[in-house]
Structure 1
């Protein structure tokens, strides 16, 4: 199954399990009903920004959108390299490899990101329905990450910890790709939406 098909199935399943009509998810996420419909039919590739808004509105982490539902399958603690889904953001071209075993039930999710030169991605999380702690460990290249107005310049070996909030901007200011590991831990917010 390709990743657009996996995302389509996962978003539709999460929306239906919460009893949301397309209009409801559109209102909660700020993503148009027509765009959600196209994504759910795998007729378009959603950008990282759009996926972030949908994940927040559905009350899940962005990383969980890339995991197959595993209720009918045996869950393994091992995610083989060749089976790890890789997704490319159609807007910035960044590549995201989901490293963690799908459905294993650990509170930590890992992903590897390769961020293209000169590109930026902005995540606006105005209404967080889950509290997500994230750490970025730079493996190669350079990234500028702006968290709620403060910019951090990361070099190889640097690690930035943050709690996701209002706005985060990821920017690679160089002419070379950057590579980093993302570790996430998410939990429902005490004041999360229904």
Structure 2
């Protein structure tokens, strides 16, 4: 998976004709780290992927999914990405050509994953808790979500997904691209 992420990030950068320094400036991720990721020498954390996705104005899932992925997606064939820092696991449900971006996430007990407001600058997000309990920080607001609960996030706001329980939390993220002024 590291090779696929490396190729996708390099491709996004090259499509824009950006230098490593330009990506670093836009994302807040160091040039050295971007270089290591592009060479598949380092696996990015969820936070780093969120910053890179925001800089490229694509979803995190777009960086994790092959560009040609369409049609039937078999569970047995699904690639699952693991955040080396938190143990967070993410499996893409839809392909990049589908109008909504849907991913399944497993968040271990005690783990917390922040995303910057910039990651929602061009998309709306809904979070649907499937199992466990999720503490969702939406800016300054904190929401305790249980199985079956969902939340829609309207605008660009910093978010934190936190599992403060002693059991894994499984939830779905649904993203839709929007044009903002």
In the superposition, the TM-score normalised over structure 2's length comes to 0.94
Q: Choose the corresponding residue for 1:82, options 73, 76, 81.
A: 76
Contact kept in structure 2, 1:94 and 1:115, CA below 8 Å: yes
Counterparts of 1:43-192 in structure 2 under 5 Å? Answer: 43-70=41-68, 76-100=70-94, 102-103=95-96, 105-125=97-117, 127=118, 130-163=121-154, 165-190=156-181
Query: Which deviations, in whole Å up to 9, do the C-alpha atoms of 1:108-129 show, x marking residues without a partner?
Result: 011111100011111123x458
Give distance in 2, aligned partners of 1:131 and 1:68. Answer: 21
Contact kept in structure 2, 1:129 and 1:188, CA below 8 Å: no
Contact kept in structure 2, 1:145 and 1:151, CA below 8 Å: yes
Query: Which deviations, in whole Å up to 9, do the C-alpha atoms of 1:125-173 show, x marking residues without a partner?
Result: 3x45842111111111001000011001000110111135231111101
Greater per-residue helix proportion = 2
Inter-CA distance 128–145: structure 2 relative to 1 (3 Å threshold): closer
Contact kept in structure 1, 2:57 and 2:122, CA below 8 Å: no
Give distance in 2, aligned partners of 1:60 and 1:165. Answer: 14
The count of corresponding residues between Structure 1 and Structure 2 is: 181
Unaligned runs of 5+ in 2: none
In the superposition, the TM-score normalised over structure 1's length comes to 0.88
2:87 is paired with a residue whose SS is coil
> How many Å apart are 1:180 and its aligned residue?
0.8
Inter-CA distance 128–91: structure 2 relative to 1 (3 Å threshold): closer
Give distance in 2, aligned partners of 1:37 and 1:188. Answer: 30
Deviating above 6 A after TM superposition, structure 1's stretches of 4 or more consecutive aligned residues are none
2:72 is paired with a residue whose SS is coil
Unaligned runs of 5+ in 1: none
